[in-house]
């Protein structure tokens, strides 16, 4: 997608996704530290394309209340407190505010002929909305930028608070998926008895092209994700299922769903995990796709998958994970030869279709 600036509607769609990613990072104890347009990529060239935050080379873990000292970031987007070497996760909010400013007008709020001048203007923290470029931009957008680019970090809003800002509430409500009832039913009925089965499904979902279905399922995900942080909590799913069943039954189902698909054990379900249970498994697990994935595992072309090939595929260390990999094989290895044949692999994957 090429543009000097975006409409407010398109900007809000992009910023909502960026901020959702930032909230997700902060909730899990990480700071990006180099948010900028170059690290925001579009999946396609379409106007309403989904975006992804990339390049975590300067990111780090942090503990709430602690201050970081290392000066990292890019001129234009770096927060003043980073230049002073005394900052926390709110530096990502500042950088996001700069991105939003640029999306709406096409140039940065802190500009200059060289890095020294740019850093000086960032350190001063003063910016304006030139009338000739901002007269058509809503007061809500300007207010949100002011709150994100607040020099005083104690008064600067958090990424989570950004998502609750009235600017996002100006948008039309997310278009309700015509298949939302079916999607919720698929989520409720999803069963997976094999760890290996879930690992393969996650791989296919992550690396094969199922964009059209992802876009449709994302609509339902956004309806359930009430705080817009890119993950579903137990309470959010309870609200979703509470619309069609009693509280006791809803809790029982939600507890089971979390036990089944919260693969990374975070206590919340991200979009990839949501896809694991709600994609069309019959369509996803075509003969052609299963054959392709099996061949990716079967590096030596022997017609079977052994322990070392599984470890190599999932980039597991040689020293560890032996017990885990052995368990994966034992679940699927029906003839007990210590390896997984294509038929055993296929039988394992097909089982998931009959359970949904």
Alpha-helical runs (H) found in 225-341: 234-242, 247-261, 271-278, 281-284, 287-297, 307-313, 322-332
Lookup: tokens for 342: 């294509």
Q: How far apart are CA 192 and CA 276, in angstroms?
A: 10
- Which is the catalytic residue, given 34, 92, 298, 333? 34
| 71, 31 contact by CB (below 8 A) | no
Reported as type and span, the H/E element at residue 340 is strand 340-341
Q: How far apart are CA 289 and CA 282, in angstroms?
A: 11
- Residue 267, judged by CB atoms within 10 A of its CB (0-12, 13-18, 19+), counts as exposed
Q: How far apart are CA 328 and CA 1, in angstroms?
A: 42
Q: Which of 307, 347, 351, 348 is nearest to 327 (CA)?
A: 307
Q: Which of 100, 91, 122, 115 is nearest to 51 (CA)?
A: 100
Lookup: tokens for 302: 């022997």
| 31, 92 contact by CB (below 8 A) | yes
Q: Is 34 a catalytic residue?
A: yes
Residues designated catalytic: 34
């Amino acid at each position: 997608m090429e543009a000097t600036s975006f409409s407010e509607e398109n900007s809000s769609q992009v910023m909502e996704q960026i901020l959702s990613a930032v909230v997700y990072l902060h909730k899990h104890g990480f700071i990006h530290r180099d948010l900028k347009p170059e690290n925001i990529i579009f999946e396609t060239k379409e106007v309403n394309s989904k975006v992804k935050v990339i390049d975590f080379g300067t990111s780090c873990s942090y503990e709430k209340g602690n201050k970081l000292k290392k000066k990292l970031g890019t001129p234009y987007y770096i927060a003043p407190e980073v230049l002073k070497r005394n900052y926390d996760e709110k530096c990502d909010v500042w950088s996001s505010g700069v991105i939003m400013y640029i999306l709406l007008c096409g140039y940065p709020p802190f500009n200059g002929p060289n890095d020294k001048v740019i850093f000086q203007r960032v350190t001063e923290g003063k910016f304006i909305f030139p009338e000739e470029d901002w007269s058509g931009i809503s007061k809500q957008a300007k207010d949100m930028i002011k709150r994100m680019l607040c020099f005083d970090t104690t008064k600067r809003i958090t990424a989570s608070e950004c998502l609750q800002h009235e600017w996002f509430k100006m948008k039309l409500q997310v278009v309700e998926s015509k298949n939302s009832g079916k999607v919720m039913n698929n989520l409720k009925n999803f069963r997976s008895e094999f760890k290996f089965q879930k690992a393969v499904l996650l791989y296919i979902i992550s690396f094969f092209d199922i964009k059209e279905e992802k876009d449709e399922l994302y609509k339902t995900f956004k309806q359930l994700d009430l705080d817009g942080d890119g993950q579903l909590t137990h309470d959010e799913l309870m609200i979703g299922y509470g619309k069609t069943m009693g509280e006791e039954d809803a809790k029982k189902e939600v507890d089971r769903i979390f036990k089944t698909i919260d693969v990374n054990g975070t206590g919340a379900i991200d979009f990839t995990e949501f896809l694991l249970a709600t994609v069309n498994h019959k369509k996803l697990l075509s003969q052609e796709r299963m054959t392709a994935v099996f061949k990716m595992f079967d590096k030596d072309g022997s017609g079977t998958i052994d322990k070392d090939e599984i470890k190599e595929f999932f980039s597991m260390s040689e020293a560890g994970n032996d017990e885990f990999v052995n368990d994966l094989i034992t679940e699927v290895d029906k003839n007990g030869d210590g390896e997984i044949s294509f038929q055993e692999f296929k039988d394992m994957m097909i089982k998931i279709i009959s359970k949904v």
